[in-house]
């Protein structure tokens, strides 16, 4: 287990580079794997989750080669026909890998088995097993199909009309990946909008995917390979945004961040808290909106986070809880019960770890209440193996008085393997 020790620097200044967006990277690999033609993906996430997706796709016979840089790969499209894997597909810690690949494999007429680490094997899979089974796939899993390992015997799918019980981009994308391989139309009704990278990329690859409010209507399609330039990961940017917004003497620029509105909840929440955030150099790259984000110290106030913004900020809620500790007044986070089934129970881990640092924070069944006191005190904390908790605690350690120890710091490499290097660079610039 890797331990990181942090102190609050006198100032936080500099430029932070992001790695490619994790969600877009998964989709660029998966969709190109079943497309016709060859594509280059530039700026691929170097996180372990995306490496899990790459490994699983390679095990089904897809040729994916790294080119001149580690974040540039070539995907040779299979045209839609994958090969039966010889062994269990290992999704590691990645819910996106397991859920999206289950949808993809549901359309393939062979058997595959998907498993992952202890955290992933405890996360709910019934939410994909049910719709994929309705489409005609034969899927079995532990506890009646509720948990991985999953065996998927696919092929012969029919389109369905399905109402998602939760606003989940993973479930939606899983059904869409089955839908492109099914006979007839697939209609998906969402309770609220979640990230729409699958819709955007499938359409750019030639599929007929139509969105009408929160409903998606799609038809089977043969995708055409698409070169993708992956924007920087806004979910990684969020850590630096909170660090700069809460530190009393900060000015941080985060370059090349994807600001797709279905992911941009962090911008709305921080602006609602009075943070000093500016979007510079707004542009569109590879069909996704991108900007540089400049954040300066601000005087934050508490806020309410709930309702339709939640799916657009779901991964950022632990670090928003850190920001709330430094805001004046009360912050309430509700409608976020999904946090309980992430890589850890993020309501419980956020509350327990920030409590160790003196936060005035209490657990709700579907969120938390934080009374901002304007400070945290360094303490010994643990990530509990969850990447976003490791990084939220790292940021808390840069803002707290005294010494913070983060155990399980290596978890950051699931989505942001250069996070601690960026911390070192920022600290070196302060002479700390
Ligand atoms: C993701 C969707 C979200 C998010 C996860 C990545 C995706 O999960 O928490 O980190 O790439 O589709 P849900 O869609 O299950 O909420």
CA separation for the pair 357, 321 (Å, rounded): 12
Compute the distance from residue 95 Cα to the ligand 1 centre, in Å: 8
DSSP annotation of 371: E
User: What per-residue confidence (pLDDT) applies to 117?
Assistant: 98
User: What per-residue confidence (pLDDT) applies to 427?
Assistant: 87
Q: Is 421 labeled as catalytic in the residue annotation?
A: no
Indicate the pLDDT class of residue 409, thresholds 50, 70 and 90.
very high
- The radius of gyration computed from the CA coordinates of the chain, to the nearest angstrom, equals 21
Work out the percent of the chain whose per-residue pLDDT is above 90. Answer: 97
Indicate the pLDDT class of residue 429, thresholds 50, 70 and 90.
confident
Site to probe by mutation for ligand 1, drawn from 26, 195, 231 as the one with most ligand atoms within 8 Å of Cβ, is: 195
Indicate the pLDDT class of residue 431, thresholds 50, 70 and 90.
low
- Encode 205-217: b = buried (16+ Cβ within 10 Å), e = exposed: bebebebeeeebb
Indicate the pLDDT class of residue 68, thresholds 50, 70 and 90.
confident
CA separation for the pair 43, 33 (Å, rounded): 17
DSSP annotation of 10: S
Regarding the beta carbon of 190 and ligand 1, being less than 6 Å apart is answered no
Regarding the beta carbon of 315 and ligand 1, being less than 6 Å apart is answered yes
Active-site annotation holder among 249, 315, 366, 421: 315
Structure-block tokens of residue 228:
């993708």
Regarding the beta carbon of 94 and ligand 1, being less than 6 Å apart is answered no
Spell out the domains of the chain, with CATH numbers in brackets. Answer: 3-19+231-428 (3.65.10.10), 22-219 (3.65.10.10)
Site to probe by mutation for ligand 1, drawn from 104, 314, 366 as the one with most ligand atoms within 8 Å of Cβ, is: 314
pTM over the 0.95 mark: yes
Helix (H, G, I), strand (E, B) or coil at 326: coil
CA separation for the pair 277, 264 (Å, rounded): 13
* Higher pLDDT pick, 427 / 212: 212
Look over the chain and give the mean of its residue pLDDT values, rounded to a whole number.
97
Regarding the beta carbon of 194 and ligand 1, being less than 6 Å apart is answered yes
Regarding the beta carbon of 123 and ligand 1, being less than 6 Å apart is answered no
User: What per-residue confidence (pLDDT) applies to 432?
Assistant: 58
Regarding the beta carbon of 314 and ligand 1, being less than 6 Å apart is answered yes
Compute the distance from residue 342 Cα to the ligand 1 centre, in Å: 9
Compute the distance from residue 390 Cα to the ligand 1 centre, in Å: 18
Regarding the beta carbon of 97 and ligand 1, being less than 6 Å apart is answered no
CA separation for the pair 372, 323 (Å, rounded): 9
Regarding the beta carbon of 196 and ligand 1, being less than 6 Å apart is answered no
Q: Mean pLDDT lowest for which of 304-313, 409-418, 423-432?
A: 423-432
Q: How far out from the chain centre does Cα 185 lie?
A: 28
List for the chain the helix, strand, coil content (%; round to 5): 35, 30, 35
Q: What is the pLDDT of residues 254-282, one digit of tens each?
A: 999 999 999 999 999 999 999 999 999 99
172 CA: nearest ligand 1 atom: 14
Residue showing tokens 């797709």: 260
Residue 343 sits at the vertex; the CA angle it makes with 52 and 379, to the nearest 5 degrees, is 120
Compute the distance from residue 167 Cα to the ligand 1 centre, in Å: 10
Backbone angles phi, psi at 206, to 5 degrees: 105, 0
Residue showing tokens 């190109």: 32
Pairing of strands 361-364, 367-372: antiparallel
Site to probe by mutation for ligand 1, drawn from 24, 92, 95, 98 as the one with most ligand atoms within 8 Å of Cβ, is: 95
Helix (H, G, I), strand (E, B) or coil at 146: coil
Transcribe 77-142 into DSSP letters: --TT-----SS-EE-TT-HHHHHHHHHHHHTSSSEEEEE--HHHHTS--HHHHHHHHHTT-EEEEH
Mean pLDDT score, 122-147: 98
The answer, yes or no, to whether residue 430 has pLDDT greater than 80, is: no
CA separation for the pair 74, 286 (Å, rounded): 16
CA separation for the pair 153, 136 (Å, rounded): 10
The answer, yes or no, to whether residue 342 has pLDDT greater than 60, is: yes
Residue 204 host element (H or E): helix 197-204
Contact 56, 101 (CB under 8 A): yes
Q: What is the pLDDT of residues 202-249, one digit of tens each?
A: 999 999 999 999 999 999 999 999 999 999 999 999 999 999 999 999
């Amino acid at each position: 287990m890797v331990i990181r020790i942090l102190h609050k620097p006198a100032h936080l200044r500099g430029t932070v580079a992001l790695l490619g967006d994790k969600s877009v990277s998964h989709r660029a690999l998966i969709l190109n794997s079943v497309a016709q033609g060859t594509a280059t993906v530039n700026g691929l996430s170097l996180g372990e989750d995306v490496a899990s997706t790459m490994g699983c796709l390679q095990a089904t016979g897809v040729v994916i080669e790294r080119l001149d840089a580690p974040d540039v790969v070539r995907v040779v499209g299979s045209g839609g026909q994958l090969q039966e894997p010889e062994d269990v597909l290992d999704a590691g810690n990645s819910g996106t890998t397991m859920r999206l690949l289950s949808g993809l494999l549901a359309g393939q007429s062979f058997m595959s088995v998907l498993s992952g680490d202890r955290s992933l094997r405890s996360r709910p899979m019934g939410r994909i097993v049910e719709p994929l089974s309705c489409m005609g796939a034969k899927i079995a899993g532990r506890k009646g199909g509720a948990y991985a390992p999953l065996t998927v015997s696919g092929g012969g799918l029919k389109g369905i009309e399905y109402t998602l019980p939760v606003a989940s981009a993973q479930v939606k994308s899983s059904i869409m990946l089955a839908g492109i391989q099914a006979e007839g139309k697939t209609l998906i009704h969402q309770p609220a909008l979640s990230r729409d990278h699958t819709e955007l990329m499938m359409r750019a690859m030639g599929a007929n995917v139509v969105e009408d409010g929160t409903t998606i209507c799609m038809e089977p399609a043969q995708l055409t390979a698409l070169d993708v330039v992956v924007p920087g990961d806004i979910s990684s940017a969020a850590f630096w945004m909170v660090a700069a917004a809460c530190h009393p003497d900060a000015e941080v620029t985060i370059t090349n961040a994807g600001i797709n509105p279905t992911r941009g909840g962090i911008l709305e929440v921080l602006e609602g808290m009075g943070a000093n955030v500016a979007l510079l150099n707004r542009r569109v790259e590879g069909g996704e909106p991108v900007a540089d984000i400049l954040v300066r110290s601000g005087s934050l106030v508490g806020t309410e986070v709930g309702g339709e913004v939640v799916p657009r900020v779901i991964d950022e809620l632990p670090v928003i809880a850190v920001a709330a500790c430094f805001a004046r007044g009360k912050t309430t986070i509700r409608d976020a019960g999904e946090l309980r089934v992430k890589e850890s129970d993020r309501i419980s881990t956020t509350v327990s770890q920030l409590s160790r640092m003196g936060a005035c924070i209490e657990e709700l069944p579907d969120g938390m209440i934080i009374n901002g006191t304007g400070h945290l005190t360094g303490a010994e904390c643990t990530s509990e193996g969850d990447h976003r908790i490791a990084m939220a605690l790292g940021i808390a350690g840069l803002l707290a008085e005294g010494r913070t120890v983060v155990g399980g710091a290596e978890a950051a490499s699931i989505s942001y393997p250069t996070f601690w290097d960026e911390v070192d660079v920022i600290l070196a610039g302060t002479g700390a």
